[in-house]
Structure 1
Amino acid sequence: MRTEDLIKALDADARSKAMPLGRAWWLAVGVAAVVAAAVFFMTIGPRPDFMAATHTMRFLSKFVFTVALGVSAFALIQALSIPGASSRHAKLWMLAAPVLVVIAVVLELFVVPEAEWGRRLVGTNWYICLTFIPLIGIGPLAVFVAALRYGAPTRPVLAGTVAGLLAGGLSATLYAAHCFDDSPLFVATWYTIAVLILAGLGALGGRFFARW
């Protein structure tokens, strides 16, 4: 069988599932959100001054980055789940979150004295960030890898990596509600490292559990 014929057969199989693949992905996101929220509220929960913090631009900017990451990763992983589907535009949208955080960092460097840069980058809770973003995201990652198996990704490692980014965007959004370090310098450094941990785990999950 030629490669093109095999891809067409996989595509037909993916579309003939009892539940449409698109609906399956929305269900997976719903389940993952419930799992992540349960872990978040049972462990750290939102910061005590959450409502007051929502009136500050630095606090809100964290969610712009994390939500942009989650939305763009969700679009890309759906495309990667369908053999032969074009993922070019979805890949371009993956640049949105990095570009936004770079812009925020540049603005921060302009308004904050240079002597403060190091302190804001390190923050006060970097170790909590590196612990809880992966902890909150590991359950959603398992859900997303399972959803990949429902489809038929032809590039399972890439799809698994994007599943990790999607889980990271979800868990980082919840963690941002707890985090007391609102500087874009902190977010660009520690949130990124924490999300990349999940992306690496997702690559392994895709490699071993999403192959066909």
Structure 2
Amino acid sequence: MKTDDLIKALAEDTTVRWRFGSILAGATVVGALVAAAIFFAGIGFRPDIAHAVETARFLFKFVVTLALAIAAIGLVARIGRPGVPAGRWGPALAVAPVLLGVAVIAELAVMPPSTWEARWIGTNAPYCLSLIPLMAAGPLACMLFVLRQGAPQRPGLSGAVAGLAASGIAATLYASHCPDDSPLFVATWYPIATGIVVLAGYLLGRRLLRW
């Protein structure tokens, strides 16, 4: 059987296993619950969250993290099935960085230069770099498990996208604890933390998702 015929047969086979979308939805919920358990057991909400939710900078963090999580999960649903194009989910990954870039420009425009360094460095960078990858571990494991039930054609790339999805979930939780709301901070430290998870997903994907 030619490779193209094998891929087509795998894409059409929906009777052997649960539908990929259904198992992905279930695993996403389980992964989010694992991340939430770590979050509430270890750090929880920031003390001033009642006031923070009234500020635009705090709420904007969730716009960015949820945009990343939704786009990456949508892409996982596509790349886990052989022969299925990424569709709109590929370009959708650009939404979060574009929004963040616009926010950074706005922040630089309205805030005095003397405050830029403090807003960029923040007070919580070490926690950001450790807690987001920690909370992303459960969702990443669940995403990789789901991808093993499918047949991704590019294992490393698929694992990396799973890492993006896991990071989006973890960063959404972490954002409710992080006292640093400036887009300058978010645009620096959140992507670094996300990159750690994406690299882990890539390496694990290359090892676990071959077929």
TM-score range, shorter chain: over 0.9
Unaligned runs of 5+ in 2: none
Match in the other structure for 1:210: 209
Match in the other structure for 1:95: 94
Deviations 1:30-78, CA, capped at 9 Å, x for gaps: 1011100000001011101112100000000100000000000011111
Deviations 1:90-116, CA, capped at 9 Å, x for gaps: 111110000010011011001111111
AA in 2 matched with 1:10: L
Matched positions, count: 211
CA distance in 1, matches of 2:87, 2:32: 27
Match in the other structure for 2:171: 172
Deviations 1:134-175, CA, capped at 9 Å, x for gaps: 011111111110110011101111110000000000000000
Identity of aligned residues (%): 50
CA distance in 2, matches of 1:17, 1:81: 15
CA distance in 2, matches of 1:51, 1:86: 43
Please show how residues 6-85 of structure 1 align to structure 2 within 5 Å: 6-13=6-13, 15-85=14-84
Match in the other structure for 2:198: 199
CA distance in 1, matches of 2:80, 2:186: 30
Structure 1 residue 16: Cα displacement: 2.4
CA distance in 2, matches of 1:23, 1:51: 36
Match in the other structure for 2:186: 187
CA distance in 1, matches of 2:16, 2:151: 11
AA in 2 matched with 1:46: F
Greater CA drift, 115-124 or 17-26: 17-26
AA in 2 matched with 1:145: L
AA in 1 matched with 2:39: F
Structure 1 residue 18: Cα displacement: 3.4
CA distance in 2, matches of 1:86, 1:60: 33
Structure 1 residue 11: Cα displacement: 1.4
Structure 1 residue 9: Cα displacement: 2.2
Structure 1 residue 17: Cα displacement: 3.4
TM-score (ref. length: structure 2): 0.98
Tell me, what secondary structure is at the counterpart of 2:6? helix
Unaligned runs of 5+ in 1: none
Moved over 3 A (4+): none
TM-score (ref. length: structure 1): 0.97
CA distance in 1, matches of 2:135, 2:42: 9
AA in 2 matched with 1:110: A
CA distance in 1, matches of 2:60, 2:19: 35
Deviations 1:3-26, CA, capped at 9 Å, x for gaps: 21111122134x223321110110
Q: CA RMSD in A?
A: 0.9
Greater CA drift, 17-26 or 161-170: 17-26
Match in the other structure for 2:147: 148
Tell me, what secondary structure is at the counterpart of 1:74? helix
CA distance in 2, matches of 1:121, 1:2: 53
